[in-house]
Structure 1
Amino acid sequence: MNGKHATISDLVRVHACPVRYCYERNDPIAESDRYAVCKQLSYHLGKALEPEAIWGEVVAVCPAVDPAMREFLDLCITACTKTAWKPAVQTDVTVTSQKQGMAGMIDRIDASGAFSIVRASGAMPMGTYAADRLRVAAIAFCLEEMTGKEVEGGFVEYLPDGISRYHAVQPRDRRQVIAALHKLREIQSGAMPQHPLNAPCNRCKFKEKCESSVGRRLSELL
């Protein structure tokens, strides 16, 4: 991809529903209070978790955070104390792939070199969400290009449940990353994509607009 790299977060949004991405791509993305809490907590994993100190950092980073999130932090800490976490030796590491034209960020890397991404959602009973599998695969693409070594997978840390799940990247995950990149290029060229069969249309605020967009160029709709 020429020019600006695609972000992994954009690829996830395109994969979920390329039509909704079209309508929202120029809107600012606000970080949720839940994520702000989980992200700050992640810096302390593998160490003693001190609620007041962590909450102070959350407020310093996000002064407008809902005070009710203090209780959410306590719940996350209680859940996380049940897991033996490895402390990070690096945090917020930017990764890029020149070949694929994408970039993203790793939340945590431990002493063994294993990487993790932090999520503010609860975990599934088993496995990881499709969006998280795509995130891990995209990061693997980037790390393999940067290090010259094969990356088998990475961890997804669902902090509200105190769960860390390893996802071994599968060929289908890599195919989905490449497909999302192709779809994003099409959107950037002005094409209006079709929504996927499993798109969450009933919960989408663009449902009526989407239904009237079939066969039309993106420039006609924006």
Structure 2
Amino acid sequence: NSVSVSDILRASVCPMQLYLAKSSPADFSEPLRYSVAKQISYHLGDELDAAEIREELKLTIPDCGEEAFRVLDEMLEECRKVTWRQALTYDMQVDSGKYNIHGRVDRVFDDSFSIIKGGKAPTHGVYASDRLQAVCYSICLEEMYGKEFYGRVEYLGSGTIRSVVLSPSDKRVFLTALKEVEKVRRGEVPRPIRGEKCKRCRFAEKCRPLEKPHTLLERLKKK
């Protein structure tokens, strides 16, 4: 089976998270803000009719309530300040035979694509995981159509459009993450990437018992 772009993104954050997610797929539900942004995305470049999108959310979000409508109104207020292009295709399935990966692109145009995000844009550029996602989609689209595609990330939480200019280092990050996914698929137990994100990781309690110290210094610290 080919590797999903979502697995590549998880591995780039922490390979251990991907390893544990494989046995707990239900732990990854769609965030509310993304669900709302995703529904708005089908209307970008056209009239942003709040009443119409509300009705769509009632169908697409289980137990849709006031919080979803509050987020919708907040995003629409920001999105109405921006001129958007209307996509040619939505949710396009893409793949690369060369790298054995596949994914689904939110919005595709004749020469570019857009990735939809429910949060606000960073002060500059795009977030690292969003940049990696753009690398994956660029690789797939260029292989499929034999021409270059440039990417954008659309942060509907702030009504911001950011272009992504890819560099050789971005592609090295992709290759590293892909190798980590392949290791997990072979059943190898990866080393976690420790950092601030550990405090918010839903797998924190499952992760620690699996971690093994690899050096004498690490063993001493464990004592």
2:51 pairs with 1:52: yes
Greater shift after overlay, 201-210 or 95-104? 201-210
Q: How well do the aligned residues superpose, as a CA RMSD in angstroms?
A: 1.7
Contact 1:38–1:120 (Cα < 8 Å) also in 2? yes
Write the mapping of 1:130-209 to structure 2, written as runs, cut at 5 A: 130-151=128-149, 153-198=150-195, 200-209=197-206
What are the Cα deviations for residues 50-98 of structure 1, in whole angstroms up to 9, with x where unaligned? 1000111111122422322111101111100111101111111111001
Gapped runs of 5+ residues in structure 1? 217-222
SS at match of 1:212: helix
Q: Which runs of 4+ in 1 moved over 6 A?
A: none
- May I ask how many residue pairs the two structures share in their alignment? 211
Contact 2:153–2:164 (Cα < 8 Å) also in 1? yes
Cα distance in 2, alignment partners of residues 41 and 97 from structure 1: 28
Residue number in structure 2 paired with 1:74? 73
Cα distance in 2, alignment partners of residues 25 and 172 from structure 1: 28
Contact 1:22–1:187 (Cα < 8 Å) also in 2? yes
Residue number in structure 2 paired with 1:115? 113
Contact 1:33–1:65 (Cα < 8 Å) also in 2? no
Contact 1:6–1:102 (Cα < 8 Å) also in 2? yes
> Quick one: percent identity of the two aligned structures?
34
Residue number in structure 2 paired with 1:220? none
Contact 2:111–2:148 (Cα < 8 Å) also in 1? no
SS at match of 1:202: helix
1:198 offset after TM fit, Å? 4.1
What are the Cα deviations for residues 146-169 of structure 1, in whole angstroms up to 9, with x where unaligned? 112233x30001001111110111
Letter in 2 for 1:104: G
TM-score by length of 1: 0.89
Residue number in structure 1 paired with 2:220? none
Gapped runs of 5+ residues in structure 2? 214-223
TM-score by length of 2: 0.88
1:30 offset after TM fit, Å? 1.5
Contact 2:184–2:190 (Cα < 8 Å) also in 1? yes
Cα distance in 2, alignment partners of residues 206 and 46 from structure 1: 39
Greater shift after overlay, 179-188 or 22-31? 22-31
Cα distance in 1, alignment partners of residues 165 and 151 from structure 2: 7
SS at match of 1:88: coil
Cα distance in 2, alignment partners of residues 206 and 103 from structure 1: 25
Cα distance in 2, alignment partners of residues 40 and 115 from structure 1: 17
Greater shift after overlay, 193-202 or 70-79? 193-202
Residue number in structure 2 paired with 1:99? 98
Greater shift after overlay, 59-68 or 201-210? 201-210
Residue number in structure 1 paired with 2:216? none
Contact 1:96–1:146 (Cα < 8 Å) also in 2? yes
